[in-house]
Chains A and B, each alone.
Chain A
Amino acid sequence: MKPQVAFFDFTSCEGCQLNKLNFENDLLDILKHVDIVEFREAMDDKADHYDIAFIEGSITSPSCVERIHDIRRRSDVLVALGSCAVNGGVNAMKNLHPIDEVRETVYGEDKYLFATLPAMAVSSVVKVDYEVRGCPMTQQDFLKLLIALVLGKQPPKYGSPVCVECKLKENECLYNRGMVCLGPITRGGCDAVCPSFGQFCTGCRGILDNPNIDGMLEVMTSHGISLDEAKKRMLLYNSNEVQL
């Protein structure tokens, strides 16, 4: 029997889900390997058991916590999709402010009607087996993981910075164009798509293991931005990962 897979979304912009629906050319190939039993954007079936559950979005409320536990209980393999799910992503910027202030800003007088938690990675609440990084995640990356799981192989792991792919493409480094780029400490795997189009890396795939944060801040400030700005750039996607 083909593996039963399901997709769920939590706090996110649903950009990753939409990216999956854009598969067009590959969708039929994918459906040869798996049965999609739940897909919020596309259908409304429910099942008791999933071979693979794909989770998009971060965990931001008590009801999210309950729901993710329930999904985990029914799933053999659980995969976090996209930066919100993997490390909290941009949502986690709210964790830099007192939670009361955040509630007040968003809900005003009604703040007591909405329970909220700091924005958390899925892995902060339940065990996550695999991850697909990026904001949004790319189809290519998602397909690589899916094929690896279907074949029973280890999905690719990305332990090198964005600079590696950038260098291999022989891009002119954006630091030479007066820009400040997070490529050196950002986890690669995106084929350095942003620098290749002249846009500095904002760190959407997360920070590498054991980064030299002080060294990176020094690199950024010595290329013309303030320490405050450098920290903000670093935190954009990584508030849960970097302590500044």
Chain B
Amino acid sequence: MECFSLLRSDVPALIDHLGDFGEVIAPHGKGDVSYSFEAVQDSCDVVLDYNRTLLPLKKMFLPPVEKLMGFSLKNESYEQVDVAITSRVFFGVHSYEMQSILRLDHSMLTGSAESNYFKRRQSSRFVGISFEPDEFHFSESVGIVIEEMEGFDLFLNEVDGDFQLYVLTENGQEMLNGFDKINITEPEIVEGRHFKKKIRYHYNRLPRVFQYAYHSEVWADVASRCVGCGACTLTCPTCFCFDVQDEVEVTAEDGIRQRSWDSCMLSTFAEVAGGENFREKTINRTRHRLYRKFKYITDEEGLPWCVGCGRCTAFCPAGISMPDIVNELIQEDEKAQYHRTVRV
């Protein structure tokens, strides 16, 4: 694995250079205190230090709202939208975000691949960047360190304000051809970047905790604070649920079918024909959300389906914290175990 040094002031030049390999998408400032992934217009606008974007990078592969087909009622015909395959370079991506894309790949491409996702996902290159964890990141607790480089072609590790650029794949190698602002160097271990938020157990112990947590009192407490806005799931990089709806234009002749992200935290999510709702109460939904992250899929895949990005917590208006809930469940589980042991 090759490693080069790169001055912070030369990063815009690198971004411009990467433009030869496709449209470059990178984090930009948004609003007063937020960030979002946008196509780069001016490489100087790209933000290198950011905590997390509002929507995950997922939006580039599975758009929040997407037209699937147009139809005509008059001619009884339809035309599917053809998603073009374009080369794109995703720059400035954090390790947990990359891991979420790999998990999403698994969700969308295993079995019969979701064709629109597949087309958008093809021809993607990824350039990672290290980050300073804030009070919400906890990815280390789910097995993803800051410098996790799986999935990236290139990775920028910040060292004393400048960067070390790791070349990880042939694609990465190719992307540096003709770029002369880098010098070969020895990789350094960066000290002093710590996760402030942690889950107390190793993630491989969590499915067992969840096995006994179904009837925990923690759920009722969370449900009493949750206002059901769906922000946690709509901003989660590994959630993939969507809804499909048809809309007819005012001519009553033509229409479109579109798909938009849905959320299991919404009370209507599990409503079915006849008005039944199989997760009617907030408590059912809150519990379901965490089981989707730490039990159901984890049992099958051996990995937590949460990447510790902290979005669900940072964007929850009620301040409900995912790692705090897990830690409460752990504590409750320890108490229960203690009582079981003492009785014996």
Which residues of A does B touch, CB under 8 Å? 26, 29-30, 32-33, 143-144, 147-148, 150-151, 153, 156, 159-161, 163-164, 167-173, 175-177, 183-185, 208-212, 214-216, 218-219, 222-223
Contacts and interface: CB of A to CB of B under 8 A. Distances in A.
A172 B31 contact: yes
B247 A210 contact: no
B177 interface: no
Q: Among A150, A167, A185, which residue has the most Cβ atoms of chain B within 10 A?
A: A167
Contacts of B34: 172, 176
A32 B249 CA distance: 13
A153 to B, nearest CB: 8
Main secondary structure of the interface of B (DSSP, over half): loop
B271 interface: yes
Given A151-B248, A219-B318, A184 B268 contact: no
25 contacts: A26-B250, A32-B252, A33-B252, A151-B73, A156-B245, A160-B230, A160-B268, A163-B231, A164-B229, A164-B230, A164-B234, A164-B266, A167-B54, A167-B64, A167-B230, A170-B36, A170-B55, A172-B30, A173-B231, A177-B31, A184-B231, A185-B227, A208-B267, A212-B282, A222-B319
Contacts, number: 114
Nearest to B31: A172
A47 B59 CA distance: 52
Nearest to B234: A167
A209 B234 CA distance: 20
Contacts of A173: 231, 315, 317
Interface string B206-237: 00000000000000000011111111001100
Q: Among B31, B34, B229, B271, which residue has the most Cβ atoms of chain A within 10 A?
A: B229
A161 B228 contact: yes
Contacts of A26: 250
Contacts of A147: 248-250, 252
B33 interface: yes
Nearest to A217: B227
B32 A177 contact: yes
B227 A212 contact: yes
A177 B36 CA distance: 16
Contacts of A148: 248
B267 A159 contact: yes
Interface in B292-323: 315, 317-319
Interface of B: 30-34, 36, 54-55, 59, 64-65, 73, 224-231, 234-235, 245, 247-252, 260-261, 263, 266-268, 271, 282, 315, 317-319
A172 B235 CA distance: 12
Given A29-B250, A167-B235, A170-B64, A215 B318 contact: yes
Contacts of A33: 252
Given A172-B34, A175-B317, A212-B226, A159 B271 contact: yes
A212 B228 CA distance: 8
B227 A184 contact: yes
Nearest to B319: A222
A26 to B, nearest CB: 5
B227 A215 contact: yes
Contacts of B271: 159
B263 to A, nearest CB: 7
A205 B118 CA distance: 38
Contacts of B263: 164
A29 B251 contact: yes
Given A168-B234, A175-B317, A177-B31, A218 B248 contact: no
Contacts of B65: 168
A185 B230 CA distance: 10
